Structure 1
């Protein structure tokens, strides 16, 4: 049984530093994440279409810079690249706090997008450089739980603080988000200044040889893992901020308060169950864990679909809460497995590129998910929307089975695998 005490004891000092402040770092993100569209539209007075387009700049910019970020991570090290991304975040949130024109808001959101695109592959590469072996899978799971804890608490605090009739409250939360980024910057500049995350030759003579993206993507297992990440994100995270709230309001007709409570349930499930799930999946094939996750998500989507079919507000709320609870259980299976498998496929000198490819697939799903959800819900195709999500879960399962035949048992999370007969 994995406990926090045993997990903490197994971490190197650098891993403890990285993990100890995750919740505080993401608290700032939670303060602002649910309220940016409201801020742009209701506080700064931009029309709704323009506000949505401005928000899209974050994802589009992040996607565009992910590939260069992977190259820079492998060439100069994850620490330097992370510091550049954090600097963009600090400036971006500070500018957004006082932005009164679309141009200023666009500049700020592009900087925030630069941070997302730069920091994702660099941070995962830094984790993989610091934490090795079986503990790496556990680390990704615990990190995910702490990220959700920070965002969840930040969202609750932000909801209590902000008021559209008092613009200064929004200025305050964006400045707080900027200040929260000083925590990881201080870690990288002082206690972790020796962890560069840059691969060397075996003899330590210099930088390791580099491989291009085309070379990496020639590996079938990389292509299938990339496809799996895209579909998982499309069905999952690509729906949480747009599709699920839209379906809940249009088809299930639940209140915004109920939607907020449902997201709180989701966060609580992840935080409370992540260690239990980590113990259950330890040593099991990661692809089989993905099969269980896809079945769990099918159940979640059926619960949400049922919420929109029955003419009962109480049943609709129960269906939404059930969806978020069951969906959260699935999330606790996904987050420890996919990043760990991706980093186990990579060599030290290609880790930045592997994480960039995986991040690009995630961002692609996060962009496509809301677009498809918006189209279907706008045309009142709620049943078709749920059916498409269930079909997506089936695609996840099929892709995981293909991937299982392509990766080694060690990459698939099996402990001390039996040697393969020649």
Structure 2
């Protein structure tokens, strides 16, 4: 027991109270965030939409998410973290109620677009606030716990959503709205504004253009996109490959459950494993491990092979989560943290579009050899992380020195 307590203290201790309120808000949001999981089923089963129309409406939600990510980044730097979080959560709660009460498909499409925008806005603000309040030496643990909470919440949402959907789709929307409102109350009550005021004129601070012309940062974003493309295979192309191998949807459900279980049970051990190593090397290893997992699929024709591959690529993604978030936080100037976070977050919707579009065509054209192509992309990404690492480290050191000088004066 003393050893267990010591390990737990090392894993979660030393983080400020504001971080834990943000972490709790994120967890509540994720556990209650099950509306989108069942939006297409709701549209077809309850509102009479065709499959094509349901796809368009869900696509509108995705388009709103891209716009919301960018808007959230700008507002995080201009309004502040707290104001952006409060406004986005309040708007999300209202829109969820509006969706629950709407019956006309054109209004549902309109509200879905706005919901995508509102639900994407808090992402940059959450991360920027964490960077503001957590010292650099503790950020690996902070981001690791954030990733853990996100996946724990998603697992909870998946379990609850199926039960609640059988009871009432409208109830699903309203409970999601209630959990969002609860997060809003928690932030209003316990989270102060964390943005540091700057005396620099707006022209010197820069804007979105600064992030979009930062070559070192964009190289890192590009490598993160490669990683996201790999992981997006797991929920887009892997189910198709399993179907082609004669495996049932239940088999894919088991694979997904295994991945979630590994993250929930193992993610807290990751910082102790990686903290003494340089981030570029950790990311290179993580992509190499993911590549190895996908390479297994080239020979997979049964469920045990898929489960083995899933365990391997999940471990790779677990290793990558803390350094990805840390590097992103370190490359961003303090006054532009929201905008940098927004550009970084765009890699995920981009991967969600590119992975099925490119992966589907590749699987059809090359069959199992598709997974060797995916593995090669991962290996290239691993090598590029080693090449790009030194320049990133020099930038991080320069940014940290400038931040220390600014806070001293």
TM-score, normalised with respect to structure 1 = 0.85
For residue 231 of structure 1, the aligned residue among 223, 226, 250 is 226
Structure-to-structure mapping, 1:15-414, within 5 angstroms:
15-29=19-33, 31-163=34-166, 169-192=168-191, 195-201=192-198, 210-236=205-231, 238-249=232-243, 251-307=244-300, 310=301, 316-377=302-363, 379=364, 381-408=366-393, 411=396
Please say if residues 14 and 138 of structure 2, whose CA atoms lie closer than 8 Å, have aligned partners that are also in contact: yes
Q: Secondary structure at the match of 1:200?
A: coil
Q: CA, structure 1 residues 380+34, in 2 after alignment: closer, same or farther (shift >3 Å)?
A: farther
1:45-80 residue CA offsets vs partner (Å, 9 max, x unmatched): 322222222212222222234333222211111111
Q: CA, structure 1 residues 322+235, in 2 after alignment: closer, same or farther (shift >3 Å)?
A: same
Q: CA, structure 1 residues 327+176, in 2 after alignment: closer, same or farther (shift >3 Å)?
A: farther
User: How far 1:387 moved relative to its partner?
Assistant: 3.1
Alignment partners' CA distance in 2, 1:51 and 1:305: 33
Q: CA, structure 1 residues 61+374, in 2 after alignment: closer, same or farther (shift >3 Å)?
A: farther
Please say if residues 31 and 156 of structure 2, whose CA atoms lie closer than 8 Å, have aligned partners that are also in contact: yes
Alignment partners' CA distance in 2, 1:352 and 1:294: 27
Q: Secondary structure at the match of 1:46?
A: coil
Q: CA, structure 1 residues 72+338, in 2 after alignment: closer, same or farther (shift >3 Å)?
A: same
Aligned length: 393
* Runs of at least 5 residues in structure 2 that lack an aligned partner in the other structure: 398-409
> Mean alpha-carbon deviation: is it higher for 327-336 or for 2-11?
2-11
Alignment partners' CA distance in 1, 2:291 and 2:393: 28
* Runs of at least 5 residues in structure 1 that lack an aligned partner in the other structure: 311-315, 413-422
> Mean alpha-carbon deviation: is it higher for 387-396 or for 140-149?
387-396
User: How far 1:367 moved relative to its partner?
Assistant: 2.1
Q: Secondary structure at the match of 2:393?
A: coil
TM-score, normalised with respect to structure 2 = 0.88
Q: Secondary structure at the match of 1:405?
A: helix
CA RMSD of aligned residues (A): 2.5
Q: CA, structure 1 residues 305+86, in 2 after alignment: closer, same or farther (shift >3 Å)?
A: farther
User: How far 1:209 moved relative to its partner?
Assistant: 5.1
Please say if residues 201 and 207 of structure 1, whose CA atoms lie closer than 8 Å, have aligned partners that are also in contact: no
User: How far 1:231 moved relative to its partner?
Assistant: 1.4
Alignment partners' CA distance in 2, 1:45 and 1:254: 30
User: How far 1:380 moved relative to its partner?
Assistant: 6.0
